[in-house]
Amino acid sequence: MEESLKRAFQAAKYEPSNELVLEIWRKITVRNRHITYLKLVSFSSLGLASLIGFIPMFKILANDFTQSGFYEYLSLAFSRGGLFSSFWKEFIFSLAESLPTMSVVFSLILIFVFLLSLRYIIKQIINNKKYIGPSYVAI
């Protein structure tokens, strides 16, 4: 049975037509363009959302810095040099304790997401140059 199937397939010698090859290539190119477009749109919207979200987060961060007394501790370092050099460990601990940690973390996350999405947008634009030409190649 296997030998007869093997001989039948060898006798058929199936070769696809040129139109089929061109159609398959066109479908692959269209699919790659569509995927690239979706990635570009999704990364752009994510970057825009993180940039828009950073505006109120920056206001919250500035408000938290003024309420925590961080600026007062920081100004002590520049007002009296002798005080800073003699009590530098306590000063550093007081400065770290007055730092609004959650606001800083959220701001850094938003900046990181924006920069990461910007990186992926640039990568998609560079990869998109492959698909700018004609959508099929004549063989």
Q: In degrees rounded to 5, what are phi and psi of residue 86?
A: -85, -30
d(CA 136, CA 138): 7
Instruction: Indicate if the pLDDT at residue 15 is higher than 70.
Output: no
Contact 16, 128 (CB under 8 A): no
- φ/ψ (deg, to 5) at 17: -75, 160
Cα 122 from chain centroid (whole Å): 10
Which has more confidence, 80 or 108? 108
Share above pLDDT 90 across residues of the chain, in percent, rounded to a whole number: 35
Coil, strand or helix: which one is 111? helix
Question: Is pLDDT above 50 for 50?
Answer: yes
Mean of pLDDT over the chain: 82
What pLDDT band is residue 59 in, cutting at 50, 70 and 90? very high
Confirm if 53 and 110 have CB atoms less than 8 A apart.
yes
Count of CB atoms situated within 10 Å of the CB of 44 = 15
State how far the Cα of 87 lies from the Cα of 132, in Å rounded to an integer. 64
Q: Global pTM?
A: 0.68
Does the pLDDT of residue 134 top 60, yes or no?
no
Per DSSP, the three-state class of 139 is coil
